[in-house]
Amino acid sequence: MKGATQMAIIGYMRVSTHQQKFDSQQKALELYGVDKIYKEYESGRKIARAELNKALASLKPGDTFVIFKLDRLARGTKQLLNLLEEFEKNNINFISIQNNIDTSTPMGRFFFTIMSAFAEMEADLIRERVLAGLDAAKLNGKQLGRPPRTKELEKALHLYHTSDLSVAKIAKICNVSTATIYNHLKKEGISRNKKTLESRKDKNINVT
């Protein structure tokens, strides 16, 4: 509860829609003895929340930030950890009533350390799963990276080499961009104007 030397106690509560009620959250915050409550109708997955930003901006070193439950503040470990790191850096106490978390106590600070460890482990597990998936794909013979030439592009290049059609016409027929055709021709060492020159020669036009 509010102590003699304690500064402001700021409460924050959130529901996802206007049809939901604040009743249980508001009662718990008022019983705790908050000085001011910020109310938010917004999804917890949204990081940028107007009322949350106002609540955070009002905090000063030594203040206490109170919520009813962790999921009212953040939906993900990373998002929650970022907020807790900001609180620690700015000497702001954090209280989650339903979860019995109070970072002004040794147990609360221990929770913060455990949260950091879990967040790091979560990131490592994600990296491991990605690498394992890539290895499995390679073993199954799947092509990684940029996909190989499509049938449309193969057809476009074939038409380029065997017909008198312009690149623009070929691109339209094969449903590929002219830039894609030119890029692949460049890789083959063929300049952009070679087809024009060859076409003119085939028509016995003197090219200087």
Please tell me the predicted confidence (pLDDT) of residue 136. 72
CATH for the 9-103 domain, from 1.10.10.10, 3.40.50.1390, 3.40.109.10, 3.10.20.30: 3.40.50.1390
Neighbours of 52 (CB within 10 A): 22
Cα–Cα distance, 39 to 25 (Å, whole number): 10
Task: Using DSSP, state whether 56 is helix, strand or coil.
Answer: helix
Cα–Cα distance, 72 to 108 (Å, whole number): 18
Q: Catalytic: 199?
A: no
Please tell me the predicted confidence (pLDDT) of residue 163. 85
Please tell me the predicted confidence (pLDDT) of residue 198. 46
Please tell me the predicted confidence (pLDDT) of residue 181. 85
pLDDT in tens, 107-162: 877 877 776 666 666 666 677 777 777 767 677 666 555 555 578 888 888 888 88
Query: Looking up tokens 């970072």, which residue turns up?
Result: 103
Please tell me the predicted confidence (pLDDT) of residue 204. 44
Cα–Cα distance, 181 to 186 (Å, whole number): 9
Q: Give me 94's structure tokens.
A: 């954090």
Point out the catalytic residue in the list 16, 24, 104, 191. Answer: 16
User: Full-prediction pTM beyond 0.85?
Assistant: no
Q: Which ranges of the chain have pLDDT less than 70?
A: 1-6, 115-125, 135, 137, 140-149, 191-208
**Given CA atoms 61, 63, 69, 71 in this order, what sign does their dihedral have?**
negative
Please tell me the predicted confidence (pLDDT) of residue 187. 76
Q: Which residues are CB-contacts of 25 (< 8 A; sequence separation ≥ 6)?
A: 13, 14, 15, 68, 69, 72
Backbone angles phi, psi at 20, to 5 degrees: -85, 155
Please tell me the predicted confidence (pLDDT) of residue 179. 86
% pLDDT > 90, the chain: 28
